[in-house]
Structure 1
């Protein structure tokens, strides 16, 4: 499984590199190199941690994004995510390097972006520690004894991984130096919010105790806000 983790991580990073550097028209983009290296190191770190502590969850995280148990709406959502993700990377390459539509960001903001990316993956580590059922697709994992998780970060918000993703959405364009990349953030955050609502309907209908959990933990992403 570790070999599969390494291969998928390398392919994922390579595809991002093609989109970023291809749109930029040059390999001379230090921020993008740092972004790819940071993501690669953090992804391998958390993947190796999962291989040791929760191989079942790692197998779920490495599974294809389209699965039989998955709801039709979630398959369409994942396809839309792939398209938006590719467009996002291309726009940031065009903006930050090729055409320089955005004024250069100060070092403090690019450093903040790198920190946000790190915090996103670091927070996911605690999500995975608390929830062995944190699959990337919406489905009920009956064969793995799927149950409601209300400990760790789930004691505070219902979707802590989505909350962490918000940091990633903001951190990536800051690190890469693209104001146009930041313009995508409301759309991407709105998409996550839509998915969270649909996901809760699936869980409430099929997972014992989830309706009660929703009553106990009122907020989805950010305490006292939403």
Structure 2
């Protein structure tokens, strides 16, 4: 069942954006701005609903303006795949490549569910491992890349350097938690990356809730 026939239509109007945000709040814990209570698992969406709805609307508008479908998606940090499934519902990716070490606590039920019903290539292991990089390179270029794996400065810096080179012309790189109070290394790596002049940059940040995340967007210039 297509989500545009189920909940949303074209994701163009303010009403549709408000409906999307409300939908995301039901997938998110209160600390992130949602309605769920933390139950000791990672079965919830670990994103701010305001930021994520802004991001989805931005990406849909980008597709319309550029008349280019976002079809090849690389996710660095799959976790249990909740975000992956949500994005796939809206963009119907032709191909998804995801990499994760699977060492964090997560719901095995959610993981199994989110592996289904998509054209997914799953790479198990570190995003910086040479063998994994070679595998991921085989499926480039990517129209959309999300960096949300290790939150340590050196690892984030390495991921940004390695994977930004795999973008298609006009491709979009996303970085999560750029304004996190817990993981300051992400902000440092992101600000250093922004010194490059072959990208255009944008950020979505909502500071109303306990956990501040922030999403950084880097668009590769043509």
Bigger radius of gyration: 1
Question: Using CA pairs below 8 Å that are at least 6 residues apart, which structure has the higher relative contact order?
Answer: 1
**TM-score normalized by structure 2?**
0.28
Larger strand proportion of the pair = 2
Larger helix proportion of the pair = 1
**TM-score normalized by structure 1?**
0.28
